[in-house]
Amino acid sequence: MLLQNEIPVATTLATLAGAHAAGVQTVWNPSPMPSPEVLAEVPWPSLSWLLLNEGEAGDLLAVLGGQAAGKGAEGLLAGLQAVDRLAGVGLVVTCGAEGVVASAGEGVVRAAAGELRGKAVDTTGAGDCFTGFFATLLSQVVPGRTPSAAELHAVLAVACQAAAICVESEGAMESVPVMGQVRERMAAKWPAGEAWEGMGR
């Protein structure tokens, strides 16, 4: 179950709680970032994964009373890991051209940004593109369990490449690549043998 913060808040919170109670893996990208009052009502234990960019991660840390444990996305991730309310939640912090850092359990996984051919033209849909690929691939690879570091890295690498292709064209939906385009761009870096192998045709 993938949710973003573009539907009524009450619906989002109720859906997260209901999906978790039904044993469904939940992914939330709170963009745009909700108010502190709304964040106080979030059923954090119902979240399987929380996806944030650096700005959102900093805002959330401030609201939850945490602080970055170092510089950049890794410091933000470490700060989020130390927040009691986020215990057990998989965390992903995207950092644009610097790639992404994530955690599932105690480990930290880093993935570089995807290959960009030419200049970035429009970054409007990059976050949504990354999020969609992340949730889709995660559902194929690790239904109902925590991914290994290698599995998580594979998911993040493909999602990063998809987002890089996305920013090469104008528009949001129309710039999102299909899996075959991502696989072609990654070439030898494509994580062959993963559960989504047939999706890259």
Cite the active site residues: 128
The DSSP annotation for 20-83 comes to HHTT---EEE--SPPPHHHHTT--GGG-SEEEEEHHHHHHHHHHHT---SSSHHHHHHHHHHT-
Which residues does residue 3 pair with via DSSP β-bridges, in sequence order?
Answer: 28
Instruction: Give me 131's structure tokens.
Output: 């999020």
Helix (H, G, I), strand (E, B) or coil at 121: coil
Cα angle value 44/47/52 (rounded, 5°): 90
Residue type, 182: V
